[in-house]
Structure 1
Amino acid sequence: MASLTDVVKQIASQINAIVYPGGTGQQSIAGIPLRIYPGWPVPNELEADLVAGKAHISIYPHGKDAKTSRYIGRTWVPLTSPVHTVVMTVQGAVVTLSGTISRQNLLINLNGTHYVYAMQLSDTLTSAATALASMIPGATSVGTVIALTGAHSVFARVGGFGSAYMETKRQAQAVMITIWANSPEARDAVASPIDSALSDSNVINFTDGSSGIIHSSGSLMTDQLQKADLYRMDLFYTIDYATTQTQQATEVIAPVLNIVNAQSGQILKTLNP
Structure 2
Amino acid sequence: MDTLASMSAQAVYPNGTGQASAAGVPVICYAGWPTASRLDSDLKVGKIHVTVFARPEEKNTTRYMTQTQTVTATTPTLTITVSGQTVTIGGAMPSPFAAHNLDVFVNGKPYLYAVQQSDTLTSIATALATLIAADVAGTTSAGPVITIPAGAKIGAARVGTSGVGLREVSRQERRFQITVWADTPDHRKAVVRPIKALLADSHFITLPDGTAGRLIYAGGGGPNDNPQDAKLYRHDLFYSCEYGTTVLDPQYQVIAIETNLSADGSTQPAVRTNYQ
Same fold (TM over 0.5): yes
RMSD of aligned C-alpha atoms?
Answer: 1.9
User: SS where residue 39 of structure 2 aligns?
Assistant: helix
Pairwise CA distance, 1:226: 7.5
Q: Is 1:32–2:25 an aligned residue pair?
A: yes
Q: Which residue of 2 aligns with 1:201?
A: 202
What per-residue deviation string (whole Å, max 9, x for no partner) do you get for residues 73-106 of structure 1?
1222212123311122222322222222132111
**Contact 2:23 2:190 survives alignment (8 Å):** yes
Q: Bigger radius of gyration, 1 or 2?
A: 2
Q: Which residue of 2 aligns with 1:253?
A: 255
Q: 1:76 aligned to 57, 62, 68, which one?
A: 68
Q: Is 1:53–2:55 an aligned residue pair?
A: no
**Contact 1:165 1:209 survives alignment (8 Å):** no
Q: Is 1:41–2:34 an aligned residue pair?
A: yes
Pairwise CA distance, 1:245: 2.2
Q: Give the distance between the partners of 1:14 and 1:132, measured in 2 at CA.
A: 53
Q: Which residue of 2 aligns with 1:16?
A: 9
Pairwise CA distance, 1:213: 1.3
Q: Which residue of 2 aligns with 1:121?
A: 117
**Contact 2:32 2:51 survives alignment (8 Å):** yes
Normalising by structure 2, report the TM-score: 0.88
> Which runs of no fewer than 5 residues in structure 2 stay unpaired?
none
Q: Is 1:232–2:228 an aligned residue pair?
A: no
**Contact 1:95 1:147 survives alignment (8 Å):** yes
Q: Which residue of 2 aligns with 1:269?
A: 272
Q: Is 1:145–2:145 an aligned residue pair?
A: yes
What per-residue deviation string (whole Å, max 9, x for no partner) do you get for residues 56-86 of structure 1?
00000123211112x5212222121233111
> Which runs of no fewer than 5 residues in structure 1 stay unpaired?
1-7
User: SS where residue 98 of structure 1 aligns?
Assistant: strand
Q: Give the distance between the partners of 2:56 and 2:161, measured in 1 at CA.
A: 44
CA distance 1:115–1:233, change in 2 (3 Å): same
What per-residue deviation string (whole Å, max 9, x for no partner) do you get for residues 183-232 of structure 1?
11111111111111111112223333333211211242212248512111
Same amino acid, percent of matched pairs: 40
**Contact 2:203 2:215 survives alignment (8 Å):** yes
What per-residue deviation string (whole Å, max 9, x for no partner) do you get for residues 136-191 of structure 1?
12322222222222332421111111111221211000000101111111111111
User: SS where residue 240 of structure 2 aligns?
Assistant: strand
Which amino acid letter does the alignment assign opposite residue 139 of structure 2?
A
Which amino acid letter does the alignment assign opposite residue 170 of structure 1?
R
Q: 1:111 aligned to 93, 107, 110, which one?
A: 107
Pairwise CA distance, 1:38: 0.9
User: SS where residue 136 of structure 1 aligns?
Assistant: helix
CA distance 1:92–1:20, change in 2 (3 Å): farther
Q: Give the distance between the partners of 2:30 and 2:147, measured in 1 at CA.
A: 62
Normalising by structure 1, report the TM-score: 0.89
**Contact 1:83 1:162 survives alignment (8 Å):** no
Q: Which residue of 2 aligns with 1:3?
A: none
Q: Is 1:163–2:164 an aligned residue pair?
A: yes
Q: Is 1:86–2:72 an aligned residue pair?
A: no
Q: Which residue of 2 aligns with 1:96?
A: 88
**Contact 1:92 1:154 survives alignment (8 Å):** no
Pairwise CA distance, 1:50: 0.9
Which amino acid letter does the alignment assign opposite residue 111 of structure 1?
N
Q: Give the distance between the partners of 1:148 and 1:22, measured in 2 at CA.
A: 64
Q: Give the distance between the partners of 1:143 and 1:30, measured in 2 at CA.
A: 68
